[in-house]
Homo-oligomer: A and B are copies of this chain.
């Protein structure tokens, strides 16, 4: 069997996750890691992983079946994904929900022009959570959907904390409100405000002599990030921070509360939940399994841009249609 040769563009936490996920799928192999840094300074997780300058990728088109682009959604992906789609089949995890239509259109154009296939916005949200919203809303048209995130680390909010004066280290956990989730499960279809759905828990290591009250106030009143939430700020030592808050757990819930039957009075509840010890490793696992689907759909002649919505589930599995029906249906 010919393995799917994977390129990794961008080598942060997600890129390392992809590198490790390849090892769990022996129909995949790592063709190369591509970085903006000097390749000689990059220490890879696996031994003998080939590292190249990102500019050199274009010369390796015949060695890479799928390029997984592991940059950030704010500035990297809007530029990198359309550009690399000119040279490769690509997958990204673009997660700025409001800008997905624009990103889709740019990537679709580039991929169609060059005859490549591109999957965008994969991971768990967007990605698996989107799929669950779609399945549940299609099945229960009379109902209400809810998405809760956490408990987990929000990179954007942690970055925001670290920009506050007097903060040496900081991390933020998004915490779903248990009583709000229970209200949804009860079938009461509550209207929930932003404040009622999640709380924000911050752990901060202050600089020596910093004004703690000022830090706490600046965080709690920060526009868009914290002002709409009940936020707690905990000051801790650097030792505690380094030993406990060095992981990237996350998770969340997609719920659909619907009504069916005569008079639409019968309550039906669908709930999808994930609990992750490592957000980037899980996201990477999703991307790698969609790389399998991409290789297959490309071999069937598909080009342009697709999302999780457009991909039949069977393409993700190593099992044949016959095996799937016998073992998993």
Q: Give chain A's interface residues, CB within 8 Å of chain B.
A: 17, 20-21, 24-25, 45, 97, 100-101, 104, 121, 126, 128, 130-131, 133-135, 137-142, 185, 258, 260-262, 264, 266-278, 281-282, 284-286, 289, 292, 307-314, 316-318, 321-322, 324-326, 328-329
Contacts and interface: CB of A to CB of B under 8 A. Distances in A.
A21 B24 CA distance: 43
B317 A313 contact: no
Nearest to A141: B24
B309 A282 contact: no
Contacts of A137: 317, 328
A119 to B, nearest CB: 12
B24 A264 contact: yes
Contact of A312 (B17, B312, B329): B312
Contact of A325 (B20, B100, B273, B329): B100
A133 B325 CA distance: 12
B314 A134 contact: yes
A290 to B, nearest CB: 9
Given A101-B322, A260-B20, A329-B121, A268 B289 contact: no
Contacts of A324: 134, 307, 309
Contacts of A138: 289, 292, 316-318
25 contacts: A45-B262, A97-B329, A100-B325, A100-B329, A101-B322, A101-B325, A101-B326, A137-B317, A137-B328, A138-B316, A138-B317, A139-B289, A139-B316, A141-B318, A185-B275, A258-B285, A261-B278, A267-B277, A268-B282, A270-B274, A307-B324, A307-B329, A309-B314, A310-B313, A310-B321
Contacts of A262: 20, 45
B274 A271 contact: yes
A285 B310 contact: no
A316 B135 contact: yes
A260 B281 contact: yes
Contact of A278 (B260, B278, B292, B310): B260
Contacts of A314: 134, 309-310
Given A24-B141, A141-B25, A134 B100 contact: no
